[in-house]
Structure 1
């Protein structure tokens, strides 16, 4: 049975002091995940960064904290973030997928089991 590692990466790791995605750091992270996979580990990457990425993409110079604005930044930033991960992992012929989840997905057993089944099938394939 493969060993499984979950890697959690926060926005502060993925972005520079100016709020821009740190491509060099992301590339190093992908290098390390590829190294683990070569050693027969299943790796689940839990990543933040969509809000920070979207904020920079929309060129907002000030902090906006309303729920709607954070959702806007997240929606815009997620596209850029997952595309960058796709390009970085593709260099290693590693297929990626994403599961967007919230704390509500873990509040009922049914929702939790659905999330778990989704991740399991992704790891198996």
Structure 2
């Protein structure tokens, strides 16, 4: 049986002005509510360099069905309730990862011998 490709969630969140540091700390404090889920492969928080108060959250899952199950869970609803007061707006895009090209800087350096 072939392995399925990861299912990726890409959120764009715009945070109320002046609450960026609070958002970042809150996101870190509650992040294990997502990463502790057995189907979660990891998540990343990225602060936009182009638009003040804008963040991108990337989260990878073993498959779409597992993410959709989590999305409807009580844990996810609690997570959203905590972040919602900090958020001015947000959008979500989803997709399956088709390819991953590893960059040279990510390659292990061979031991000197």
Report the TM-score, using the length of structure 1 for normalisation: 0.29
Report the TM-score, using the length of structure 2 for normalisation: 0.31
Point out the structure with the larger helix share: 1
Point out the structure with the larger strand share: 2
Specify which structure has the bigger relative contact order, considering alpha-carbon pairs within 8 angstroms and separated by 6 or more residues. 2
Q: Which has the larger Rg?
A: 2
